[in-house]
Structure 1
Amino acid sequence: GSLATGGYGTALGVIRSAWQQKRIDAVYADETRPWLQGARLTAWELIEDGIPTDLIVEGAASALMASGRIGWVIVGSDRIAANGDVCNKIGTSNLAIIARHYGVKFMVVAPVSTCDASMQSGQDIPIECRGQNEILSLDKQQVAAVGATAWNPVFDITPAALIDAIVTERGVVRRPNAKKMRVNLQGPTDAV
C-alpha cells in the first residue's frame, strides 16, 4: 500500500483504481500472520479509502475462493526472479495454488525495481527465517504448548506457472516466463 511504498501503492494501487472504476464491490484481506500486516496495515488503508473490507485468516482463503466470490487474488512482491517466479510474504504461494485450483486469477503487482535478473528462478532467492517466538507467542504471551518449536520463514516462492499476470510500471506480463520478463525489463510492454 501507500504506507509501504509511498504514494498510491502497488497491489493496493490496483485495488484503489478498480474501486474508483466501480470494478470491485469489496476486498477480502488476509490477516498476514505472524506480524498481522494485513489486519493492521492493509485493512486500515482500505478502510481509509472507503473500500469495504472483510478481514480473513489465511486458512479461510480456500473456502472463500470455493464460494465463487473472488475473481482475482492481487498480491505484491519483494523480489521477482528472471523467469517470473515471485518471492513474497509467507502464504502467497498457498494463495496461488488455491486460486489455480478454483479458477481464480492471480496477479502480482510490483515496481520493476523488485525484478532481479541475477536470480534465474525462485530457487536462487534466499528465504529469511525469523525467530520462533513470533509463532510461539502472541503479544509476548506464550500460546503454544511448552516444548513446541517453530519454523518461521518470512517469505515463500510462487512459481511463475501459477501467476496469470505480473504488473509493473513498464506494463503487464501475462503468464510470465523468462523471455516475457526480459522484454518487460527493457521498457513499456503488454507481453502476451
Structure 2
Amino acid sequence: MRRPEDRPAALANRRGDAGAEGQDLPEDGGSEESHGLEDEVDASTPESRRLHALLIEFSRYRSLKNPLAGICEDLQLTPTQMHALSWLGNDGPVQVGVLAQRVGITRKTITGVVDRLESMGLVERTRDVEDRRAVVVRLTQPGSNVFARIDRGLDASLRRVLDLMGPEDRDAVFGILERMLARLTAEAEAADDDSQAG
C-alpha cells in the first residue's frame, strides 16, 4: 500500500478562515439554502477540522467516497466526479496521472471524468510548467464553488459524528487515527527506501 510520492503543502485558509483573501466564494447557481447548508458556512470547529484532516490523510491510502455520496445527487455529479473535485480542492492543481492515482481509477478512465467536468465548466486543463508534455488539471472558479459546498457538507457530517462522542472519546479516536496514520506513513517510507535501495 504505497502512498503517492508527492506531498503537496496544505492549502492555507481554504475554508475561508477569518482574514483570508477571497473568503466569500460566489455561488454558481442556486443558493446555499437549496443544498441545506445555509447554517454550515462558518460553523467548522478545530476538532472537526482536525478530524477532516486525518480522514483526508487516510483517504490517500484508500478511496474515501462514502461521506460524499449524499451530496452527489444534490449537485448532479457522479461519485467519481465528486471524488476528483474533492482531491483538486484539497491538493490544488495536479497532473492527470496523479489525479487518477488519487481517485483510484486508470488514466484512461480519468480522461473521461476530466472531459465531463471540463464540459461542465468545473475544471480546466493546462500544461505543466516544468514538463510541457504533462497535462495539469485545476478547478475553475465554478469548480471551486462546488468544492466549497462539498467541503462544508463533509464538515457538517463530521461535526454530527463528533457530537455523538464525549471529550475523552474524541481524544481517544484522534489518538488512534494519528497512531495508525503514523504507522501507514512509516510503512510507505520504508517501502520507498527498499525500492530505491534495490
TM-score range, shorter chain: under 0.3
Higher strand residue share: 1
Higher helix residue share: 2
Q: TM-score, normalised by structure 1?
A: 0.28
Higher relative contact order (CA 8 A, sep 6+): 2
Q: TM-score, normalised by structure 2?
A: 0.27
